[in-house]
Amino acid sequence: MANTIKIFDTTLRDGEQSPGCSMNLSEKLEMALQLERLGVDIIEAGFAIASPGDFQSVNQIAKAVKNTRVASLARALTKDIDAAAEAVKEAAYPRIHTFIATSDIHMQYKLQKTPEQVLETAVEMVKYAKKYCGDIEFSAEDASRSNPVFLYQIIEAVIQAGATVVNVPDTVGYTSPEEFFTLIKGIRENVPSIDKVDISVHCHNDLGLAVANSLAAIKAGATQIECTINGIGERAGNAALEEIVMNLGVRRDLYNLGTNINTKEIYRTSKLLSSITGVKVQPNKAIVGENAFAHESGIHQHGVLANKETYEIMTPESIGLTENKMVLGKHSGRHAFVDRIKTMGYTLEEDALNKAFEQFKVLADKKKVVTNKDVEALVRRKTIVI
């Protein structure tokens, strides 16, 4: 098994399908260049057939990005594949990503096709795409709700037809880590040609399990993870890139696998996306939320001031931040208060310090956060400035 997991970023395709997250050409280009700096292996730049604007975005990104593979999505239809092929043809490393649904509910009500017809279409369209491009990804939409035996058959058939990556999406975020582990393991054990291709997974977050399911798939042998910055995407979003990558980095003892991501670019990439889309990241979001490296309670602040590892399992520097944050509030203790006074350049006699700390506690009960200005006002009257 390869010891590097490929990161397929779909911020500019599935992420953009998130309400309020659509981006114009120059915004998508700026984001794509930042994703390249971040070190993702594949950028899914858009869905070329979706609109003339999306075609242009995929095409411009394909030309601008030099070191990263660029993919366009296409349904299993010749017109979609033609558009995708045209859009990515000038990429240094192009990929066509074609998909068709394989669950009974999608085949019956959406496609109105029998499983035999779906299998035949998948094979024909992979062969059709292969005439344009060497690298073809095939996705079995709604795979997690599909009959596993049918999945094994269609995956083997598309590999024989030329697919280089087979993607197993949890399209509606329905699966659980145990179930998804079993599904991916079943694919590894029952698809004869599976070792010739990358096994990819694409998890949605409807039940809040997108990252956990992706990690379970890695344990079962998945070699590519599809994800987005800040976890944006259809409905409740996709697996968050930063969470997948930092899980692999921090818990190397569990996974023993790396990525090509330069983690120091994570925070910048997250900020760029929210400034482009105007969609804020929730403060308690893992890795990139404003509170991810903030400490407010006295017990935690005391611990972190003594040794950061008491309450930090990764460093802020590892994701591109310069430092952690000590937030002064009603739960804060004397250690953090004294530390703040010192870093602001003040020193207080013992009595004055006791008084200032008492007043700080009274103020903290009235305010959510005690700012440096507040601290300054508290200590000024009682200080010797150093």
Q: Which residues bind ligand KIV (CB under 6 A)?
A: 14, 99, 139, 141, 167, 169, 171, 202, 204
The residues in 10-69 that bind Zn ion, with binding defined as CB under 5 A, are 14
3-state class (DSSP) for residue 144: helix
Q: In whole angstroms, how close is the CB of 113 to ligand KIV at the nearest point?
A: 17
Tell me: is residue 14 an annotated ligand-binding position: yes
Here the tokens at position 285 are: 């979001």
- In this chain, which residue has its C-beta nearest to Zn ion? 14
CB of 202 to ligand KIV, least distance (A): 5
Here the tokens at position 349 are 């006699």
Rg (CA), the chain: 25
CB contact set of 206 (below 8 Å; sequence gap of 6+): 172, 173, 174, 235, 236
Question: Cβ distance 87 to 55 under 8 Å?
Answer: yes
State which residue, 14 or 198, has the beta carbon closest to Zn ion: 14
Specify the residue, 228 or 332, whose C-beta has the smaller distance to ligand KIV. 228
CA distance 273 to 253: 31
Q: Which is nearer to ligand KIV, 109 or 344 (CB)?
A: 109
Binds 44, which of ligand KIV, Zn ion, none (CB < 5 to 8 A, cut-off by type)?
none
150 binds, among Zn ion, ligand KIV, none (CB under 5 to 8 A by kind): none
**Is residue 45 within 8 Å of residue 13, measured between CB atoms?**
yes
DSSP code at position 196: G
Q: Using CB under 5 A, count the residues that bind Zn ion.
A: 1
Measured from the CB of residue 378, what is the shortest distance to Zn ion in angstroms?
Answer: 52
Q: Closest separation between CB of residue 177 and ligand KIV, Å? A: 18
Q: Decide which of ligand KIV, Zn ion, none touches 75; Cβ closer than 5 to 8 Å per partner kind.
A: none
Amino acid making up residue 111? L
The residues, ordered by sequence, that sit 6+ positions from 323 with a Cβ below 8 Å of its Cβ are 293, 316, 317
Q: Could you tell me the smallest distance in angstroms from the CB atom of residue 68 to ligand KIV?
A: 19
User: How many Å apart are CA 326 and CA 297, to the nearest integer?
Assistant: 9
Q: Which does 213 bind (CB under 5 to 8 A by kind): Zn ion, ligand KIV, none?
A: none
Q: Which does 139 bind (CB under 5 to 8 A by kind): Zn ion, ligand KIV, none?
A: ligand KIV
Nearer to Zn ion, 73 or 341 (CB): 73
Residues in Cβ contact with 240 at an 8 Å cutoff, skipping those fewer than 6 apart: 210, 211, 227, 228, 229, 230, 231, 285, 286, 287
Q: Residue 95 or 202: which CB sits closer to ligand KIV?
A: 202
CB atoms within 10 A of CB 271: 16
Least distance to ligand KIV, CB of residue 252, Å: 28
How is 278-347 classified by DSSP, letter by letter?
Answer: -PPPPTT-TTTSTTTTEE-SHHHHHHHHH-GGGT-SS-GGGGT-S--EE-BSTT--HHHHHHHHHHTTEE
Residues facing residue 346 across a β-bridge: 385
206 is in an annotated binding site: no
| Residue 94 or 169 with smaller CB distance to ligand KIV | 169
| 47, 14 contact by CB (below 8 A) | no
State the minimum distance, in angstroms, from the CB of residue 246 to ligand KIV.
23
- Among Zn ion, ligand KIV, none, partner that 99 touches (CB below 5 to 8 angstroms by kind): ligand KIV
Residue 234 beta carbon to Zn ion: minimum distance, rounded to whole angstroms: 6
> In the complex with Zn ion, which residue's Cβ is closer, 168 or 375?
168
Q: How many whole angstroms separate alpha carbon 102 and alpha carbon 88?
A: 26
Q: Which does 141 bind (CB under 5 to 8 A by kind): ligand KIV, Zn ion, none?
A: ligand KIV
Of the two residues 204 and 340, which places its CB atom closer to ligand KIV in the complex?
204
**Residue 340 touches which of ligand KIV, Zn ion, none (CB < 5 to 8 A by kind)?**
none
Confirm or deny that 204 is annotated as ligand binding: yes
Binding site listing for Mn(2+): 14, 202, 204, 238
> What is the contact surface with Zn ion in residues (CB under 5 A)?
14
Residues flagged as binding site: 14, 202, 204, 238
